[in-house]
Amino acid sequence: MDSFLVKICPDYCPKQLLKMLPSERLHLQTRLCAFCYADVPVHQASWQQAEVDRCDRHVFRFISECPNCGSGFRTPALWEEAGCDQCGLEFANMQIYQQLR
């Protein structure tokens, strides 16, 4: 793999790539706090930290799937609407489900 990258990118340096990775482990499924999202509709990087399973502001566990249809959340950069891509339930309306977890 390294030789391939050197051919297509002569300035390739594995140490440079390692510096670009986040220092903490990340949770691979996209997660969110519906309460925070209702306040400020922006995905927070802190929601993806693997060691953290609850919102530090609201103390509820993060959600990683739609409570209505069970579909996992897409990568935040691909969010076109502020809700589930499958059934359309808005993230802010997922608060009740988040409280019950």
Express each pLDDT in 90-101 by its tens digit.
999 999 999 887
Per-residue model confidence as pLDDT tens digits over 28-54: 789 999 999 999 988 898 898 888 999
Higher pLDDT, 7 or 60: 60
Confidence class of residue 18 from pLDDT cuts 50, 70 and 90?
low
Residue 83: closest CA among 53, 39, 38: 38
- In sequence order, what DSSP letters do the residues of the chain get, joined into one string? -HHHHHHH-TT--HHHHHHHS-SS-B-SS--B-HHHHHHS-S--GGGGBTT--B-TTT-PBPB-B-TTT-PBPPPGGG-SSSB-TTT--BGGGGHHHHHH-
Share of residues in the chain with pLDDT > 90 (%): 44
Beta bridge partners of 1: none
Over residues 81-92, the pLDDT tens digits come to 889 989 999 999
- Specify the pLDDT at position 100: 85
CA–CA distance, 85 with 67 (Å, rounded to integer): 13
